[in-house]
A and B are shown apart, each in its own frame.
Chain A
Amino acid sequence: MSFILTEDQDMLRETALSFVAGELPVSHLRALRDKGANGNDAATRKKLAELGFFGVIIPDEPGADTFGLVGLGQILEAQGRTLAATPLLQTALIAASALQLGGTPAQKAEWLPKIAAGEATFALALDESAHFSPYSVATEAERNGQGFTLNGLKKYVPDAHYADMLVVAARTFGEAGDRHGISLFLVPRGAKGVGIQTLNTVDSHGAAHVSLDDVHVPASALLGPADEGADILDPVLDRAAIGLAAEMLGSAQAAFDMTLEYLNNRKQFGQLIGSFQSLQHRAAKMFVELEMIRSCVAAALSAADAGKSDVAELASLAKAKAGELAHLVSNECVQMHGGIGMTDAAEPGFFMKRARVQEALYGSASWHRDRYAKLNGY
C-alpha cells in the first residue's frame, strides 16, 4: 500500500482540480438545476472525454499501465469539491470495472474503447427498494430461447435518465436475498420495454426509476457467468463505494474550506467569529476527522489497485467514515454560516443535500458498519 501519488497521478490530480475549479464550480450545478437539467450535461461530458477522464482505468492496449483507481479517485475527489454532476462514477468506474472483471473478450472490445472515448455512458441498475441491499434482487431474467426476458423495477438509478446503456442485475435462480442466482445484463436504455421515470432529486443530480417490462436481450448481453453475477458485483460495489468515498472526501474538504473562510471573515461582537473557542474546537475536530478519512480513502484506493484481500474491509471503512464526515461537515457548514447558510443563494445547502445522496448510494454508513463488524468476526 502506498499513500504517495506517482508523478503521473499527481499531475492528473492537478489537472482535475483546476478543471473543476475553472469549468464546474458549484454555480455550474446551480445553473443546471435552474434549467431543470437533472445533472444531464452533454457539454461537460464532451470536455471530460477530451481530458481522457473516462479512460483512466482502461489500458490503451491490453496489459498497459493505467492511472489506476488511485488516479480515478483523484478525479472523483476533485469533482466532489464542486459537487459536479458527471457520469464518471457510473461509467468510468462502475461499468469499466464490471466489464474488465466479467466481460467476454467481445464485450470488452466493443465497450471499453467507447467508454474510454466518452462515446458511451452506463448506469448500474441494482437497487429495488429504498435501501441498498445488493442481494435482494427480485427482478426476473427468464431464459427464453437464445436469450433472456427481463421483468422488474429498479429504483433510484443514478444517470439512468440519460445513460446509453444499463447494467441490470436480475435473478436467474433462487429468490430475493440469495447471493447465488444473480446475473448481470447489458441492456440498451432504448431497448423495447425499458421505461425511464426521471427523478428530480434533492441534490439536483437527478436519477431515474427504471421499469423492465418483457425486455428481451440476447445471450450475448449476459455479463459474466449466469447465476454468479455476485462474484462480479461484489468487487464492483466495493470499488463503487471507494470511488464515492473519494468524491465525498472532496465534498467534505470543500465544505470545510468554505466554513473556515467564513470563520475568518465574519464578525460579530466586534470579533471574527473564528476567534471564538467553541467554533475553533469544532473546526479543529472536523480537521482531525478529515485527516483520518483522507487516510482511509487513500488506503482503500491503493488496496483496490493492488487487489489486496482487505479491499472489502477498507471499502466499508472508507464509505462509512466518509458518510459520517459528509454529514458532520455539511451540517457544521450550514450552522457556522448562520442565517446565510439557510439561504438558497449561498452554497452550504448544496453540500448538505448532496451529502444525503452520497451517503445513501452503495451502502449507508450503518450498512457498512454492519459489514465491517461481520468481516471482523463479531
Chain B
Amino acid sequence: MAYDNAEQLEEFRLETRKWLEENCPPSMRTPMPDDELVWGGRSAVFKNAESKVWLDRMGEKGWTSPEWPKEYGGGGLSRAEARVLEQELRRIKARPPLFSFGLWMFGPALLEFGNHEQKLRFIPDILKGKTRWCQGYSEPGAGSDLAGLQTRCEDKGDHYLINGQKVWTSYADKADWIFCLVRTDTSTKHEGISFILFDMKSPGVEARPIQLISGESPFCETFFTDVKVPKDQLVGKVNGGWEIAKRLLQFERSSISAGGFGGTGGSGILGPEDYAKQHIGTDESGRLTDGDLRGRITDHKMYAKAFSLTVQRQTEQAKAGQAVGHTASILKYAAAKMNQDRHELLIEALGTEGLGWEGEGFDKGAKKVTRQWLRSKGNSIEGGTSEINLNVIAKRVLGLKEHQ
C-alpha cells in the first residue's frame, strides 16, 4: 500500500502503535541479555518463552523484514512505512525479534537472483525464523582470494554431487541450511562458480567448531563428502554464482559495519576512559593523569564519533538518492580499525585487571574484555580483509588502475 500523504502515514503510525501495544510482550521491551538472543531455526532455543511469542507475531506479519514483498510473506511496507515501524519499535524499546543470516545476507540475495519457486520455498521460513541459514564461502585455500574456491559440484544428471571443505562457516553446527559457493567448472576461475543451497542434515555433511585465540567461537570447519543436492536448489545460472556472491558480500559488509562491531559502545558499556579513571585516576581538573593514554583515548573516541556521523550521513544520502558507491567497503574498513583500537585501549586501561583468562580473581566484565580484545583481531580479516577493502576503494571508488 502506498501512502501519498502525511495524514495516511500518521494513520499507519497509530495502527502500528496500537498493534505493538497489544502484541509486544512486556519482557520484549526490556534490554536483552546476551543469552536471550534468538537465532530461530528447527532447533531454536527460547530461554524466555515470550521471545517465541514475539517472533511468531512479528514473523506472521512479515515485520521481521518489513519491506520484503507480501507475496513471499514479507511486510510489503513502503520505505516511509518501514521507517515509521522502526520508530515505533524504538519508541517502546522493543527487542529485535530475530537475528538471522537469512534476513541480513541470504534473503536479500535470493530476492534479487532466485526464481519464483525458490523464493516461495525459502523466504517465508526466513521471515518466520523457522530456518536458520549459514554461509559456505571461505575455504582453506580460498580466503581473500575467494574465487579460488575448489569445492566441487558435479552434475550427475538428476542431482548435483558436492565434495570439498569450507572454513569459517559461522554456526554451521547450529544451522539448518547452507548457501554455498561451489565450483561447477574447473577450466576458468570466476566464471566457474555456482551458488547452491542444501540442507545441513544431508548425508555427507559434517561441521566441527573451531577454537580461536579468544576461546570458543561460532566458526566451524565444514566437510562435504558426496553430498547429493536436488537440481532445483541451484540459484541463478550454472557458473553464474560469482555475481550473486559479490552482491551478498555487500550485504554482509553492510550488516557488519552498520553495527560497527558494537565498537561505538552503547549505553551501559564501559569505555576505555571509564576503566582508565578507575584504574589510573584523574587530577583535580578531572583529566586522566596519564596524559599520553588520555590523548590516544580521545583520538579513538573522535574516530568513533566521526564513524557514527558517517553512517548517519550515508544513510541520509542514500535515502535522498545521493549514495556514494561502495560505502560498505569504506565503513567495513573504518569499523574494523575502530573496534580494534577500542579494545587495545580497553585492555591497556585495565592493566593487570585485563589479563585474566578464566576462574576467580578477576572481574567478570574485565574477563569479557580480554576475550573481546582477542576476538576483535578478526575484525580486519572476516567479511573481507582490510587490505581487500582498501583494494575495492582504490579501484572501484577512486578509479586507480590495475598493475599491468
Q: Please indicate the chain A residues that have their CB under 8 angstroms from the CB of B303 in the complex.
A: 292
A271–B403 contact, CB under 8 A?
Answer: yes
> Is B57 an interface residue, CB under 8 A from the partner?
no
> Is B220 an interface residue, CB under 8 A from the partner?
no
* Given A296-B309, A298-B313; A288-B301 close (CB under 8 Å): no
Interface residues of B in 292-317 (CB under 8 A from A): 294-295, 297-299, 301-303, 305-307, 309-310, 312-313, 316-317
Stretch among B146-154, B185-193, B352-360, B393-401 lining the A interface: B393-401
B334–A277 contact, CB under 8 A?
Answer: no
CA distance A163 to B390 in the complex (A): 47
CA distance A2 to B322 in the complex (A): 14
B403–A369 contact, CB under 8 A?
Answer: no
Given B277, B295, B310, B404, which contacts A292 in the complex, CB threshold below 8 Å?
Answer: B310
Q: Please indicate the chain B residues that have their CB under 8 angstroms from the CB of A372 in the complex.
A: 298, 301-302
A317–B302 contact, CB under 8 A?
Answer: yes
A378–B330 contact, CB under 8 A?
Answer: no
Given A283, A284, A292, A373, which contacts B306 in the complex, CB threshold below 8 Å?
Answer: A292
A374–B306 contact, CB under 8 A?
Answer: no
A373–B401 contact, CB under 8 A?
Answer: no
* Given A295-B312, A369-B302, A374-B286; A285-B390 close (CB under 8 Å): yes
A284–B390 contact, CB under 8 A?
Answer: yes
CA distance A264 to B401 in the complex (A): 7
Number of interface residues of B (CB under 8 A): 46
CA distance A3 to B301 in the complex (A): 21
> Is B333 an interface residue, CB under 8 A from the partner?
yes
Q: Please indicate the chain A residues that have their CB under 8 angstroms from the CB of B333 in the complex.
A: 284, 288
Q: Please indicate the chain A residues that have their CB under 8 angstroms from the CB of B273 in the complex.
A: 373, 376-378
- A336-378, CB under 8 A of B: which get 1 and which 0? 0000000000000000000000000000001001101110111
Interface residues of A in 257-293 (CB under 8 A from B): 260, 263-264, 270-272, 274-277, 280-281, 283-285, 287-288, 291-293
A274–B400 contact, CB under 8 A?
Answer: yes
Q: Please indicate the chain A residues that have their CB under 8 angstroms from the CB of B394 in the complex.
A: 280-281, 283-284
Which of A272, A280, A296, A378 is most buried by chain B, counting CB atoms within 10 A of its CB? Answer: A378
> Is B324 an interface residue, CB under 8 A from the partner?
yes
CA distance A317 to B316 in the complex (A): 21
User: In the complex, which residue of chain B has the Cβ closest to the Cβ of A285?
Assistant: B390
Given A294, A366, A376, which contacts B313 in the complex, CB threshold below 8 Å?
Answer: A294
> Is A64 an interface residue, CB under 8 A from the partner?
no
Given B294, B307, B398, which contacts A283 in the complex, CB threshold below 8 Å?
Answer: B398
Q: Please indicate the chain B residues that have their CB under 8 angstroms from the CB of A288 in the complex.
A: 330, 333-334, 393
Q: Please indicate the chain B residues that have their CB under 8 angstroms from the CB of A291 in the complex.
A: 310, 324, 330
Q: A299 → chain B, closest Cβ, in Å? A: 5
CA distance A293 to B330 in the complex (A): 13
* Given A275-B401, A285-B390, A369-B302; A4-B297 close (CB under 8 Å): no
Q: Please indicate the chain A residues that have their CB under 8 angstroms from the CB of B317 in the complex.
A: 3-4
Q: Please indicate the chain B residues that have their CB under 8 angstroms from the CB of A2 in the complex.
A: 316
A3–B387 contact, CB under 8 A?
Answer: no
Given B276, B286, B306, B397, which contacts A321 in the complex, CB threshold below 8 Å?
Answer: B306
> Is A254 an interface residue, CB under 8 A from the partner?
no
Which of A260, A264, A276, A291 is most buried by chain B, counting CB atoms within 10 A of its CB? Answer: A291
Q: Please indicate the chain A residues that have their CB under 8 angstroms from the CB of B387 in the complex.
A: 281
B295–A369 contact, CB under 8 A?
Answer: yes
User: In the complex, which residue of chain B has the Cβ closest to the Cβ of A318?
Assistant: B306
Q: Please indicate the chain B residues that have their CB under 8 angstroms from the CB of A378 in the complex.
A: 273, 276-277, 282, 286-288, 294, 297
B403–A277 contact, CB under 8 A?
Answer: yes
CA distance A299 to B313 in the complex (A): 9
Q: A72 → chain B, closest Cβ, in Å? A: 19
Q: A317 → chain B, closest Cβ, in Å? A: 6
Q: Please indicate the chain B residues that have their CB under 8 angstroms from the CB of A293 in the complex.
A: 306
CA distance A291 to B402 in the complex (A): 24
CA distance A373 to B290 in the complex (A): 13
A280–B301 contact, CB under 8 A?
Answer: no
Given B307, B313, B398, which contacts A284 in the complex, CB threshold below 8 Å?
Answer: B398
CA distance A150 to B27 in the complex (A): 67
> Is A138 an interface residue, CB under 8 A from the partner?
no
Interface residues of B in 47-77 (CB under 8 A from A): none
Q: A31 → chain B, closest Cβ, in Å? A: 32
> Is A320 an interface residue, CB under 8 A from the partner?
yes
Given B306, B316, B334, which contacts A296 in the complex, CB threshold below 8 Å?
Answer: B306
User: In the complex, which residue of chain A has the Cβ closest to the Cβ of B305?
Assistant: A317
> Is B269 an interface residue, CB under 8 A from the partner?
no
B307–A292 contact, CB under 8 A?
Answer: yes
Q: A237 → chain B, closest Cβ, in Å? A: 19
A377–B316 contact, CB under 8 A?
Answer: no
CA distance A281 to B282 in the complex (A): 39
> Is B78 an interface residue, CB under 8 A from the partner?
no
> Is B391 an interface residue, CB under 8 A from the partner?
yes
A275–B402 contact, CB under 8 A?
Answer: yes
User: In the complex, which residue of chain A has the Cβ closest to the Cβ of B315?
Assistant: A3
Q: Please indicate the chain A residues that have their CB under 8 angstroms from the CB of B401 in the complex.
A: 264, 272, 274-275
Q: Please indicate the chain A residues that have their CB under 8 angstroms from the CB of B287 in the complex.
A: 373-374, 378
CA distance A292 to B330 in the complex (A): 10
- B312-346, CB under 8 A of A: which get 1 and which 0? 11001100101010000010011000000000000
User: In the complex, which residue of chain A has the Cβ closest to the Cβ of B303?
Assistant: A292
Q: B338 → chain A, closest Cβ, in Å? A: 10
Q: A212 → chain B, closest Cβ, in Å? A: 32
B286–A280 contact, CB under 8 A?
Answer: no
B310–A295 contact, CB under 8 A?
Answer: yes
What 10 A-B pairs have minimum CB-CB distances, sorted nearest first?
A: A280-B394, A284-B393, A295-B309, A292-B306, A3-B313, A284-B390, A378-B273, A295-B310, A275-B403, A274-B400
| Other A-B pairs, 13, CB within 8 Å; known A4-B322, A260-B398, A280-B391 | A260-B399, A264-B399, A281-B391, A284-B398, A285-B390, A293-B306, A317-B302, A317-B305, A373-B287, A374-B287, A376-B301, A378-B286, A378-B288
Can you list 26 A-B pairs with a CB-CB distance of less than 8 A? A4-B322, A260-B399, A264-B400, A264-B401, A274-B401, A275-B400, A275-B401, A275-B404, A277-B403, A280-B394, A280-B395, A281-B387, A283-B394, A291-B324, A292-B306, A292-B307, A292-B309, A292-B310, A296-B309, A321-B302, A369-B299, A373-B288, A376-B273, A376-B301, A378-B277, A378-B288
